[in-house]
Structure 1
Amino acid sequence: MNNFCHLWIWISAQLYKCVKRRLVLVGLGSLTGFTLVIILLKWSFTCSNIQPEKYVKNICTDYHSGTSIGSLCEELCNPDKTPSISCHNFHTSKDAVFSGIHGNHSVVFKLPKKISNYESLHWLDTANKKIYPSEIDFTNMIVTNVKLKFNIFLNHIVAKKMSHINYSASHHRDVEMENVWALLQDNEYLVLLLYEKFDVFPRLEGSCGSLYAVQKLNTISRYWHLITLYDSRSEWVKRVKLSVMILDFLLHLEHVLPEPLHICDIKMDHFGVTNDFKKIKYLDLDSVHPLSVTNRLTGDGSDCKQHSDCDLKDCRSFCNLMTFKCQHGVANNNLQVVCEKIFLGWVLSGRVMVPGLLLGPRSPRVLIDILELCANPDGEAGTPRAPASKEIRNRLHKLLTHLSLS
C-alpha cells in the first residue's frame, strides 16, 4: 500500500507542478481552488455534463430549424424525453465526447472540432443565393477527399452511398449535403465508414448534424491496475489474454486491410474489448492513417532541428540532419509502441513509473526481456524509433499464449 501512496503522491505532485507552471506563464500567479477547477476542466483532466448538454441543445436547435438532420435527431431532440448523457475526461482531440443511450444500448457521442480550412461545399451567385454542387460533382468531391486522406480510390457507387445519410431526407438534400460534407472532414468518421466491413473499429450508430454516435465498448484499463503487487492469478491471466488479443488485432491491421494502418496515438483507454471478451477494437481514430499517408505526413519535407520535430505523435520519424528536413517517413510500427506504452508501461527517465498490462510480480524474466527488445529493438538511447520485427512478435505471441494456458 505504501508503494501506491508514493506513486499517487508523485503523480499528484507532477500534476500540481504542471498546472502551477502554466498558471504562472499566463500570469495568474497563485493557485487557488477555483482556478484549479477551471484549469482542470479546460485541459480535460476532469469534466462536467454542462458542456455536452450545451452541445446537444445547439444540435437540436439546428435540427428544429432545419439545418441539421440525421437518424439520431428525433430521439436525441425529443422534447418529451431528456437524453441521458455523461461526459468523458481526457478528450482534447474533439470538441465533445460523451456517453449516452441510443435505442436500448450504450453509445459514445462524438462532435469533431470545427475545421475552418476545408473546401466549402456551396458558393454564392450574384443574388447571394447558395448554389450547391450537382450529384455527380458532389460524388467526385468525396472520391477526391478519400483519396487525399486515405489513399483509397472509391468507385462511384460507394462514394454515392457515402454522400447520403441513412435518413429519409430527399427534400432536404442541400442540408444533407452540408451535414455529410462536414462529417467527412473528420478522420474518425471516415475511418468508421471506410473500414466498417473489417469489424476492427466500433460500429457507427448514426448521426445528427455533425454529431455522430458509435458503439460503446469497455476499455482495457478496467483490467489494469496502477499497482499489480496484489494481483490474483485470474487477473494476471486475463491481462495476458488481452495482450494476445491486442497482438492479433495489430496483425489484422497490417495484413488484412487494403493497406496497413498506423495508430499514431496509442493509449490504454483507446483499446476497447467486447462484452464477450473475444474481440479488441480501437476506439480513438483521429490519428489512424494508412502507411502511405503516415509516410507522407512524417516525411513531408518540413523544417526540423531534431528527430522529434518530424514525429506524428507515436508515429516516429527522422530529421535529416544535413538538410534539416523531414524526409524519412514513419520509422517505427504499432507493435513497438504497444510494447513500450501498453505492455511495459509509462517510462520516465529510463524507469517504469506506471506498470503496463504485462509488468508485475507474475511477469517471468523471459517475458520482460522480450518486451524490452520489442519496445526498443535497436537499444537506442532516448526515444526508440526502430520497428519491432516479425520475429519478436512471433516470440511474444507464443510466450503469451503459453502463459495464458499454463
Structure 2
Amino acid sequence: MVVIFAYTELLLLAVADVCLSYRQARFSYLKVKYLFFTWLAVFISSWVVYVQYSSYTELCRGHECKSTIWAHESTNPPQCLCQCDKYRKGVIDGSACSSLCDKDTLYLGKCLSTKSNNQVYSGSWGDLEGVIKCQMGDVLHYVLGAEMEPRKEAALFDKPTKGTSVEKFKEMVFSHLKAKVGEQANLVDLASLVLSVADGNKDGHISLPEAKSAWALLQLNEVLLMIILQDKEHTPKLLGFCGDLYVTEKVQYTSLYGVSVPWLMELWIPSGVRRSMDQWFTPSWPRKAKISIGLLEFVEDVFHGTFGNFLMCDVSAANFGYNDKHDLKMVDMRRIVPEASLREAMRDRRCEADEDCVYGTDCRTSCDLTKRRCTPEVIQPNLAKACLALRDYLLRGAPSEIREELEKQLYSCMALKGTTDQMEMEHSLILNNLKTLLWKKISYTKDS
C-alpha cells in the first residue's frame, strides 16, 4: 500500500512538472508571439508615418516658395536664389512682395498641394484670408500635353530685359495675348486689363521688376482667366502677387461634395461605396440646385465671352467649390484653356487613334487617320461636361415633381456635340431651360 501511494505521489509530481514545463513553454511562445506582433505593428506604423511624412514634404514645400527659386544656367549648375533677395535687388516686384519679405504679414497656413511643382496653401494676408499659389522649379509657361504640367525650362524672370520701354512691353503683352486667345477686335482692352494688374503699387507706372513678375504670371492660364473674369461672381479674385507667387480669394468649401478620408483608408474603400459616401455629404437639394446654377453661369462666362472662348478640360468636383451662401466659386482653373491655344496644339499633334487626341481629362478631339493628325475641333462643349458632373449631384434627392423633367434635360445636355452655329443655339436653349427649371423650384425657398 505504501508502495502504491509512493508511486502515485511520484506520478503526480511528474505530471505537475510536465504541466509546469508546458505552461512555461506556452508562456514563452505567447511572449514571443506578442513581441513579434508588437514589433510588426510598430514597423508598419513607422512605415506609414514615414511614407506620409515623405509624401507631405515632397508635396508641401511652402518655405521654398518664399526662399527658393531654381535658376538653370546653360553653362552653370543650378543655383539657389532667394526670392526675397530678388525683390530687394529689384529683379521682381508686386503688391505682395513687401508683405512677404519685409513685413512678414503674408502667412502660409495649411498645405493644399496635390503636385509638388504647384504649391497651394491656405493662408492670410494681413486681415484677408486667401489661397497662396506658386510654381516650383519650372518656367511659368504651360505646354498643352496629356499631363498638363509646366515644361522643364529656365525660370529666370529674364523678360522683359533691362532697357525695355513701356511701349515695347505693351507690344509683348499684346502679341502674347493674340497667340493665346486668338485674333480679336478687343485685344487692346484685354492688354489694358493686364497692364492695370501689372501695376502692383497702383502708382500709374509699370516698373521693370513689376513687368518681370507680371510677364511670368501671364504665362499661366489660371492667372490670365482671373484677369479676364475679374468682375464675374464665380471667379476668385486675384488679390496680389510677388514674382511667381500669387494670392487669390479663399473659397470656403473646396469641393462640390464628398468627404476627405486619410489616403490609407482610401485604398480600402470600394469605388461604389466611395461614390455613396460622396453623395451622403452634400448640402440640401435646394442648395445643391443653387450651386449648380452657379456652375451653369460659369459655363456661360467662359463660352464665347468678351475675350474669346475657353475650354474646361477637367470638369471634376474637386475643381468647384462654394461659399457660405452656396454661390459657386472656382477652386482650380489651371485646366481651363483658351480654345485658340488648344486648337493650335491639337492641329500639330500626331496620332494613331482618337485616344491620342486628349488634353487633360475632358478635352477630346478625333484622329484624322488619313493625315495621322488630331483634328482641332473638340468633340464635347463645356456644357455637356458640366451636366455630366452635375447629373448624380442633382438627381439625388431631387423633388419628385421635377425629377423626370430634370433627368430628361440633363441627358439632353450631356448629348451635346460639336461646335457649329446650330449647336450654339441648342447650347443656349438647353442651358437656359435647365437654369429656369432649377430657379423655378428654389426661387421661393430660403436657400435661394
Flag the 1:200–1:358 CA change in 2: closer, same or farther, 3 A: closer
Equivalent-residue separation in structure 1 for 2:57 and 2:108 (angstroms):
23
Equivalent-residue separation in structure 2 for 1:247 and 1:90 (angstroms):
26
Equivalent-residue separation in structure 2 for 1:157 and 1:339 (angstroms):
33
**SS at 1:218 equivalent:** coil
Counterpart in the other structure of 1:262:
311
The answer to whether 1:56 aligns with 2:56 is: no
Q: How does 1:11-160 map to 2 (within 5 A)?
A: 32-33=47-48, 36-37=51-52, 40-41=55-56, 48=60, 51-58=61-68, 59-78=83-102, 83-91=107-115, 95-112=118-135, 114-115=138-139, 116=153, 121=158, 131-151=162-182, 152=184, 153-154=187-188, 158=192
How many residues are paired up? 342
Correspondence for 2:351 among 304, 317, 320: 304
The answer to whether 1:227 aligns with 2:277 is: yes
CA apart distance, 1:374? 2.7
Correspondence for 1:323 among 343, 350, 371: 371
**SS at 1:357 equivalent:** helix
**Quick one: which amino acid aligns to residue 309 of structure 1?**
D
Equivalent-residue separation in structure 1 for 2:101 and 2:156 (angstroms):
29
The answer to whether 1:397 aligns with 2:435 is: yes
Structure 2 unaligned runs (5+)?
Answer: 1-45, 69-82, 140-152, 260-275, 418-422
Equivalent-residue separation in structure 2 for 1:33 and 1:180 (angstroms):
42
**SS at 1:67 equivalent:** coil
Q: In the alignment, is the contact (CA less than 8 A) between 1:67 and 1:175 conserved in 2?
A: yes
Flag the 1:374–1:119 CA change in 2: closer, same or farther, 3 A: farther
**Quick one: which amino acid aligns to residue 130 of structure 2?**
V
Q: In the alignment, is the contact (CA less than 8 A) between 1:261 and 1:291 conserved in 2?
A: yes
CA apart distance, 1:377? 4.6
**SS at 2:365 equivalent:** coil
**SS at 2:364 equivalent:** coil
Flag the 1:248–1:306 CA change in 2: closer, same or farther, 3 A: same
**Quick one: which amino acid aligns to residue 414 of structure 2?**
A
Q: In the alignment, is the contact (CA less than 8 A) between 2:157 and 2:212 conserved in 1?
A: no
Counterpart in the other structure of 2:296:
247
CA apart distance, 1:40? 4.1
Correspondence for 1:212 among 246, 263, 269: 246
**SS at 1:358 equivalent:** helix
Q: In the alignment, is the contact (CA less than 8 A) between 1:112 and 1:210 conserved in 2?
A: yes
Q: In the alignment, is the contact (CA less than 8 A) between 1:217 and 1:275 conserved in 2?
A: no
> After TM superposition, which residue ranges in structure 1, 4 or more long, deviate above 6 angstroms?
117-120, 168-172
Flag the 1:281–1:67 CA change in 2: closer, same or farther, 3 A: same
TM-score normalised by the chain length of structure 2: 0.65
Q: In the alignment, is the contact (CA less than 8 A) between 2:66 and 2:84 conserved in 1?
A: yes
CA apart distance, 1:405? 4.9
Q: In the alignment, is the contact (CA less than 8 A) between 2:343 and 2:376 conserved in 1?
A: yes
Counterpart in the other structure of 2:406:
367
CA apart distance, 1:102? 1.4
| Percentage of identical aligned residues | 23
Flag the 1:372–1:62 CA change in 2: closer, same or farther, 3 A: same
Q: In the alignment, is the contact (CA less than 8 A) between 1:52 and 1:98 conserved in 2?
A: yes
**Quick one: which amino acid aligns to residue 100 of structure 2?**
L
RMSD of Structure 2 on Structure 1 (CA): 3.8
Q: In the alignment, is the contact (CA less than 8 A) between 2:181 and 2:339 conserved in 1?
A: no
Q: How does 1:281-360 map to 2 (within 5 A)?
A: 281-298=329-346, 300-313=347-360, 314-340=362-388, 342-344=389-391, 356-360=392-396
Equivalent-residue separation in structure 2 for 1:249 and 1:305 (angstroms):
35
CA apart distance, 1:239? 0.6
Equivalent-residue separation in structure 1 for 2:372 and 2:227 (angstroms):
38
Counterpart in the other structure of 1:175:
209
Q: Deviations over 1:292-330 (max 9, x none)?
A: 3333333x1321112131122212211112322112421
Flag the 1:56–1:251 CA change in 2: closer, same or farther, 3 A: same
Larger radius of gyration: 2
**Quick one: which amino acid aligns to residue 219 of structure 2?**
Q
Structure 1 unaligned runs (5+)?
Answer: 1-30, 124-129, 345-355, 379-385
Structure with a larger share of its residues in helix: 2
